[in-house]
Amino acid sequence: MPAKSKRKRRKGAAQPPVSPALRESASFPRAVIAEIQRAAASGIYDIRGFGAKRRVPCFDDLLFLGASMSRYPLEGYREKCDTAVTLGTRFASKPLELRIPITIAGMSFGALSGPAKEALGRGATLAGTSTTTGDGGMTPEEREHSALLVYQLLPSRYGMNPDDLRRADAIEVVVGQGAKPGGGGMLLGHKISDRVAAMRNLPKGIDQRSACRHPDWTGPDDLKIKIEELREITNWEKPVFIKIGAARSYYDTALAVKAGADVIVLDGMQGGTAATQDVFIEHVGIPTLPALRQAVEALRELDMHRKVQLVVSGGIRSGADVAKALAMGADAVSIGVGALIALGDNAPDFDAEYRALGSAAGFYDDWHEGRDPVGISTQDDALAARFDPIAGGRRLANYLNVLTLETQTLARACGKSRVHNLEPEDLVALTVEAAAMAKVPLAGTDWIPGQGSL
Amino acid sequence: MTHRFDLAEQGVRELNRALHAANGTARADAWHIVNPRGLHNVAVGLDCALDVTVEGHVGYYCAGMNQRARVTVLGNAGPGCAENMMSGLVRVKGSASQYAGATAHGGLLVIEGDASARCGISMKGVDIVVRGSIGHMSAFMAQSGRLVVCGDAGEALGDSIYEARLYVRGAVASLGADCIEKPMKDKHREELAQLLADAGIDDVDPDDFRRYGSARQLYNFKVDNADAY
């Protein structure tokens, strides 16, 4: 990838102040102009990491009503508020038992450094939850540091093997990802180190573009047989998840149930990626909020809500997001970008180094370039060595604990002794859009757009 | 020791459980499986040098993810036969449906009839020998290993191929993106002769084959290749 264009200004030449009469175009603001200039100079689309940056209706647009005259709240710190959840109760003989309803999303060794993957395992294990492998397979270090590890079956099948399948605690068939529903993985040449190349059985240094479709099934009917094969190989012990990017979520959820999923992982468009075309990240898929509501509707109609567990991801940042997702009917959430930030991604301490890369702390998204100064999204040994997996794991555990405490705070405020007892009735929407998408009433009204009158 | 298992009497779950009981051991028992009737997932996840013979046709993913076992199908195999095989030998006496040997990392897959589309898709080190012909988009994104076809190959052979080597005796309908014909050198004739011998094929001359592989022009994105995608 060409480096982002950096115009050098001649030092010393005094610049006249920008006239307040200058008017920036709404259609062609400076960021749009810069992208056209970048495209014209390089001839290739912009590839980046992170998730969608545009503003979309989200959990911020919902509020909890809390308890008052007609409901009574629970005492914070004194009265128990259970957070445990079991994933995979439908068919698996060994379901995944989590202490908290927050899991770590799939992120590959390759996209992330070895120490960063280790830190994810350490942090999740401290907090009592699971991590997930990613494109490229399972590393022994990852298995060692993650008490509960979900092994992804991706279209590329890089590193896929029956020994790791048997070593896994759950299997996740990845159909799609919120950042790019319909897109395959991407790992550019500078991150294909010797070890990554060997794990993926590819030449070193190539631009690796994973397939977007699975090689040995094409639709829900043969996915059902594929899942049976995975169950047969592992003697029906492991929960089988199906991960889908948020698109036609009502139908996709119903088809995932039909295909035999124990757990459905639904990733909204705000969900992160290590490397995808910007145009794909910003323009394909729907936000987490409406996707979650559609998925829960499908599960309820099939009488499968809480029987097939629903894990939702894409833009989960706080305990408020977790609590709202659970209230709308999710069984758990999954975090990726938030976990990386907890590890140290975009830390202000590294601002000068981010600026040297043409970015700045708080903006860095060139995860595909492998030059991460923090040592997370890199395969450069010297950069990776900067990252302390023990301290990183502690930070992630802290963050997971905060998310859990915040979730409990909100649940107790609504009078729930279990976070999963939160329900849509506890929610109102701040905007008409969010009310329509979440199908909860606009605050102060009983109006849900599309259902009845004001 | 020889075992007989009747799939008309017990199901695939019981069969695989019985076969898995030997996983990780040094046993080399023979198993005769009768009445497969096109059932899916027959003899998947084996990890032991068993000698399994399936007396009839099988459905999807027969011998999937095989390790060390020899599995012989006395009939046709449905989609995904020997998918993701790691080692061992899978032999189909009849023809195989789509994605035979998909993503397989090792071992040898022999198909004595024809193989359908996407044979050897994303192959990662397996050797595949097809006595007959193969369908379109075979060896798509094939990473490594060898694919030998004694008959013809369908359209878009080896599209986006990496380092796998393809040997075809008959006509190739068309080559996929970045797949080219390459010269047959002595070392290639030698490895081809060995593969044919391993597959038990002795009436075909290695000199009659052509070799195909990657032009390696799409390994790193170049703007000027945009129309190849």
Could you tell me the CATH number of the domain that includes residue A261? 3.20.20.70
Question: What pTM, to 2 d.p., does this model score?
Answer: 0.95
Buried b (16+ CB within 10 A) or exposed e, A398-414: ebbbebbebbbebbbbb
Nearest to A157 by CA among A213, A117, A104, A116: A213
Q: In angstroms, what CA-CA distances link A355 with A35, A41, A50, A157, A423?
A: 18, 21, 18, 37, 45
Identity at B197, one-letter amino acid code: A
Distance of CA A217 to the CA centre of its chain: 25
Q: Is B60 in contact with A232 (Cβ distance < 8 A)?
A: no
Residue B101, sorted as left (phi over 0), alpha (psi -120 to 50) or beta, turns out to be: left
Distances in whole angstroms, Cα of residue B197 to Cα of each of B12, B67, B70, B188, B206: 33, 21, 17, 14, 11
Question: Could you tell me how far CA B200 lies from the centroid of its own chain?
Answer: 15
Verify whether the Cβ–Cβ distance A211 to B141 is below 8 Å. Answer: yes
> A229 to chain B nearest CA, in Å?
6
Determine the structural domain holding residue A322 and report its residue range: 59-438
- Could you tell me if B9 and A227 are in contact, meaning their C-beta atoms sit under 8 angstroms apart? no
Q: Is the pLDDT of residue B193 over 80?
A: yes
Long-range contacts of B181-186 (CB under 8 A, 24+ apart): B181/B210, B181/B211, B181/B212, B182/B211, B182/B212, B182/B213, B183/B211, B184/B209, B184/B210, B184/B211
User: Strand, coil or helix: what is A446?
Assistant: coil
Establish if A93 touches chain B: CB-CB under 8 angstroms.
no
Q: Which among B17, B99, B163 has the least Cβ separation from residue A235? A: B17
Partner-chain residue, chosen from B12, B103, B223, that has the shortest CB–CB distance to A215 = B103
Nearest CA in chain A to B45: A233
Q: Which domain holds residue B184?
A: 2-204+211-228
Structure tokens belonging to residue A29: 């603001």
Question: Whole-angstrom Cα distance, residue B147 to residue B169?
Answer: 11
Residue A443 lies in a domain: no
Q: How confident is the model at residue B107 (pLDDT cuts 50, 70, 90)?
A: very high
Q: Is residue A52 part of a domain?
A: no
DSSP per position, A137-192: ---HHHHHH-SSEEEEE-TT-TT--HHHHHH-SEEEEE---TT-TT---EE-GGG-
Q: What is the full per-residue pLDDT of chain A (454 aa) written as tens digits?
A: 444 545 555 555 678 888 999 999 999 999 999 999 999 999 889 999 999 999 999 999 999 999 999 989 999 888 999 999 999 999 999 999 999 999 999 999 999 999 999 999 999 999 999 999 999 899 999 999 999 999 999 999 999 999 999 999 999 999 999 999 999 877 888 888 888 888 999 888 888 888 899 999 999 999 999 999 999 999 999 999 999 999 999 999 999 999 999 999 999 999 999 999 999 999 999 999 999 999 999 999 999 999 999 999 999 999 999 999 999 999 999 999 999 999 999 999 999 999 999 999 999 999 999 999 999 999 999 999 999 999 999 999 999 999 999 999 999 999 999 999 999 999 999 999 999 999 999 999 999 998 865 4
B220 and A205: CB-CB below 8 Å? yes
Quote the minimal CA–CA distance from A43 to chain B in Å.
6
**Domain for residue A295, yes or no?**
yes
> Are B45 and A232 an interchain contact pair (Cβ–Cβ within 8 Å)?
yes
Residues A194/A204, Cβ–Cβ less than 8 Å: yes
CB contact under 8 A, A216 and B41: no
pLDDT > 90 fraction of chain B, expressed in percent and rounded = 94
Q: At CA A299, angle to CA A321 and CA A263, rounded to 5?
A: 70
A182 CB burial (10 A radius; 0-12, 13-18, 19+)? middle
**Could you give the CA distance from residue A310 to residue A304 in angstroms, rounded to a whole number?**
10
| pLDDT attached to residue A7 | 52
**Residue A160 is nearest to which of B47, B84, B125, comparing CB atoms?**
B84
Total tally of structural domains belonging to chain B: 1
Under 8 Å between Cβ of B165 and B148: no
Q: Is the dihedral of CA A140, A146, A148, A154 positive or negative?
A: negative
Residues 6+ apart with CB under 8 A from A360: A351, A354
**Best of A209, A225, A229 to mutate (most B CBs within 10 Å, chain B):** A229
Instruction: Inspect the interface and report whether the beta carbons of B162 and A217 lie closer than 8 Å.
Output: no
- A104 to A37, A129, B164, B198: CA distances (angstroms): 37, 8, 35, 46
Judge contact between A359 and A372, C-beta under 8 A: no
Tell me which residue has tokens 């999303």: A105
Tokens of B168: 């075809």
Distance from CA of B62 to the nearest CA of A (A): 9
- Whether A167 is covered by a domain: the verdict is yes
- B163 touches A at CB < 8 Å: yes
CB contact under 8 A, A203 and B64: no
The C-alpha of B223 sits at a distance from chain A's nearest C-alpha, in angstroms, of 6
- For an interface test with A, which of B10, B19, B103 has the most A Cβ atoms less than 10 Å from its Cβ? B103
Distance CA B134, CA B132 (A): 7
Give the whole-angstrom CA distance, residue B125 versus residue B121: 11
Cα–Cα distances (Å) from A268 to A243, A316, A407, A434, A448, in that order, read 11, 10, 20, 15, 22
For residue A393, give both structure tokens. Answer: 């794991």
pLDDT of residue A3: 47
What's the gap in Å between the CA of A208 and the closest CA on chain B?
A: 8
- Residue B67 token pair: 């390790």
Amino acid code (one letter) for A44 = I
Specify whether the CB–CB gap between B158 and B212 falls below 8 A.
Answer: yes
CA distance B141 to chain A (A): 8
Asked if B83 lies within 8 A of A162 by C-beta distance, the reply is: no
How does pLDDT run across B158-188, given as a tens digit for each residue?
999 999 999 999 999 999 999 999 999 999 9
Q: Answer yes or no: is A131 within a domain.
A: yes
Contacts of A201 in chain B (CB under 8 A): 105, 124-125, 143-144
Whole-angstrom Cα Rg for chain B: 18
Percent composition of chain A: helix, strand, coil (DSSP 3-state, to 5): 35, 15, 50
**CATH number, domain containing residue B49:** 2.160.20.60
Residue A326 lies in a domain: yes
Q: Mind telling me how many Å the CA of A196 is from chain B's nearest CA?
A: 14
DSSP H helical segments within A182-277, as ranges? 194-200, 220-233, 249-258
- According to DSSP, the β-strands at B179-182 and B165-168 are unpaired
DSSP 8-class letter at B41: S
Count of structural domains, chain A? 1
Contact B223 A229 (CB under 8 A): no
A20 in any annotated domain: no
**What is the crossing angle of helices A389-413 and A114-127, to 10°?**
40
pLDDT tens per residue, range B44-80: 999 999 999 999 999 999 999 999 999 999 999 999 9
Burial A425-453 (b: 16+ CB within 10 A, else e): ebbbbeeebbbbbbbbbbbeeebbeeeee
End-to-end CA distance of chain A: 53
* Cα angle, residue A215 at apex, residues B108 and B78 outer, rounded to 5°: 60
Predicted pLDDT of residue A1: 42
Q: Say whether residue B116 is in contact with chain A using an 8 A CB cutoff.
A: no
Nearest to B129 by CA among B156, B163, B92: B92
